[in-house]
A = this chain, B = another copy of it.
Amino acid sequence: MKLATLRIDGGTVAAAAVEGGFAPLPATDVGELIAQDGWREIVAATLAGRTEGAGPALIDEATADFAPVVPRPAKVVCCGLNYSDHILEMGRELPAHPTLFAKFADTLAGAQDRIDVVGSERVDWEAELAVVVGAELRNASEQEAARAIAGYTVANDVSMRDWQHRTLQWFQGKAFDASTPIGPVLVTADEFGAAPTFRVRGYVNGQLVQEGDTATLVFGPARLLAYVSGFTTLRPGDVVLTGTPGGVGAGMKPPRYLADGDALATEIDGIGRLENIINLNSASVPAAAVHA
């Protein structure tokens, strides 16, 4: 099943991909949907009702306005330095523990949103697989964590490298409002086999700049969720980003950063594709006092 959170009538609605478009579901977003007990049955009943003519009209995929697929997670945990092939090619040792940092719900953006950045001159890309949690996890085993994965989606951990490296803590360069596109859809875990792997690709203006396979993750989705649950409770709708493969702009020689108007695309086979235009001359962010 493919689920999306679509903007409609000044709010949002959760929706399921069906033949011919997206069918609205009885929840304001995918996070709220999967936090409900028996949400699969709710979706099934809604879709069954449609075949009998009940329910609102389908939303056309071509005109759908994608909100962040999970727009209000209480927790967004991100992992850095996680692709073993990239770590090894850089001559580093594989880490014993995942490098983690946090984002806010406000950091997320929709799959086709323009990304407005004010105050950074080193905007970089990080194509990533994101995991959405489907059940409460605390001190979980890897097996428990695997069963608690609601599904998978696509994210780009767009990073303001100047802010990221102002201090030793990356957080401020990773938490710009509406800078991390996520979506367009959540593909539920039952669509894949156990411990699925994915090919992750990033493009800038149509040129492939990143490509990786999550089979090479040091900390795969279930292991990452289990680890995080060792210090904090994960709940339905929480999001974990799994890190990015080689090919970021900061690693190029010379480094390459995103320019105003650049088209950033992020795709994962079997899930979907993000397409975001970078806007460095934002009119949507108040410019009163930029702390650059």
Q: A-side interface residues toward B, CB under 8 Å?
A: 74-75, 80-81, 95-107, 118-119, 138-141, 144, 160, 163, 166-172, 175-177, 226-228, 230-233, 285-292
Contact = CB atoms under 8 A, between A and B. Distances in A.
Protomer copies: 2
A4 to B, nearest CB: 23
Given A97-B172, A101-B101, A176-B231, 20 more contacts: A81-B167, A95-B167, A99-B168, A99-B169, A100-B167, A100-B169, A101-B169, A101-B171, A102-B102, A102-B104, A106-B232, A106-B233, A119-B230, A139-B285, A139-B287, A139-B288, A139-B289, A175-B232, A176-B232, A177-B233
Nearest to A95: B167
Given A104-B75, A232-B106, A233-B177, A226 B168 contact: no
Given A176-B232, A177-B231, A226 B170 contact: no
Contact of A169 (B96, B170, B286): B170
B233 A80 contact: no
A171 B74 contact: no
Contact of A291 (B167, B170, B226, B233): B226
A141 B107 CA distance: 21
A231 to B, nearest CB: 5
A79 to B, nearest CB: 10
A231 B106 contact: no
Contacts of A100: 167, 169, 171-172
A167 B100 CA distance: 8
Contacts of A106: 74-75, 232-233
